[in-house]
């Protein structure tokens, strides 16, 4: 017997932990999960940003809480996972969104910057997934892990885009997603990734300032960049029962840019 469509997308009674959830794409994702009915816990480095983000969600009627932590530090990741378990009871949905970038020519890329990007963009995803898997998802034999990759991880860049560490880290997120999906499917855990294209955010501000929104939009078949709604439907699909038979997949949300690259 089939399930009504609205019920398939309903997250009422579910809990979600969103890293990098205080602004930008992370906040958009948290808002979507909360609007679908989930109780949401946000984490990022700055308490003031988290307090503002939680208030924004609460004003929309979303049950939201937060904990400040540096996701590049293994001890902080363990603390966040334990705190989330204590406050939420279990973690049904994990969104690994925290990330950083660094622009420099490959020949001059600082080692410390390489390590910073790799530690936050891929090592933290491994450690947070491992912690949440062991504490909640594997024992409950249920879970949805959603990693935020990027179309920068699907192909190389032109000479104008000098982001070697970022691109490499996001490519690692893509294959991490596939590999973990293969390993944890036996625990009824779905692991998927979103691969956003150009969205206005603090991370992309330099690119928007340098190239301009119109020029960036011109590269997409839909002739637009992402907005405050464009990740919402995709993340709820991956987080809900509507996506229960989808795992190990990478979904570009990019106005069609990756289709041109693939062609």
Catalytic residues: 166
163: β partners:
104
Contact 168, 115 (CB under 8 A): no
What tokens were used for 203?
Answer: 């991370």
CA-nearest of 82, 85, 31 to 53 is 31
By residue count, the chain amounts to: 263
- The span from the CA of 224 to the CA of 19, in Å, is 27
What tokens were used for 254?
Answer: 């990019």
67: β partners:
43
Q: Tokens 């924004």 sit at which residue?
A: 56
Residue 186 DSSP label: G
Say how many C-beta atoms besides its own lie within 10 A of residue 58's C-beta. Answer: 14
Residue 152 DSSP label: G
Spatial strand order of the sheet with 93-96 comes to: 64-68, 39-44, 15-19, 93-96, 143-148, 189-196, 250-253
What are the two backbone dihedrals, phi and then psi, of residue 46, each rounded to the nearest 5 degrees? -100, 120
Long-range contacts of 109-115 (CB under 8 A, 24+ apart): 109/164, 109/165, 113/165, 114/165
122: β partners:
none
């Amino acid at each position: 017997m089939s399930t009504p469509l609205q019920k398939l997308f309903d997250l009422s009674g579910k809990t979600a932990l969103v890293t990098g959830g205080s602004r930008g794409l992370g906040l958009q994702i948290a808002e979507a999960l909360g609007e679908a009915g989930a109780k949401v816990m946000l984490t990022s480095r700055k308490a003031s940003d988290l307090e503002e983000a939680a208030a924004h969600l609460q004003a929309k009627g979303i049950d939201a809480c937060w904990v400040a932590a540096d996701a590049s530090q293994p001890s902080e990741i363990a603390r966040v996972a334990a705190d989330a378990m204590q406050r939420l009871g279990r973690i049904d949905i994990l969104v690994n969104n925290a990330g950083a970038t660094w622009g420099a020519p490959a020949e001059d890329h600082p080692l410390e910057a390489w390590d910073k990007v790799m530690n936050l963009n891929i090592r933290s995803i491994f450690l947070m997934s491992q912690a949440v898997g062991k504490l909640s998802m594997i024992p409950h034999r249920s879970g949805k892990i959603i990693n935020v990759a990027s179309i920068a991880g699907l192909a190389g860049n032109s000479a104008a885009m000098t982001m070697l560490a970022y691109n490499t880290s996001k490519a690692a997120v893509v294959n991490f997603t596939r590999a973990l999906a293969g390993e944890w499917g036996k625990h009824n855990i779905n692991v998927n990734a979103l691969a956003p294209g150009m969205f206005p955010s603090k991370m992309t501000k330099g690119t928007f300032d340098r190239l301009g929104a119109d020029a960036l939009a011109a590269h997409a078949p839909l002739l637009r960049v992402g907005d405050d709604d464009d990740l919402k439907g995709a993340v709820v699909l991956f987080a809900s029962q509507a996506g229960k038979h989808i795992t190990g997949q990478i979904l570009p949300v990019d106005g069609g840019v990756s289709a041109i690259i693939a062609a």
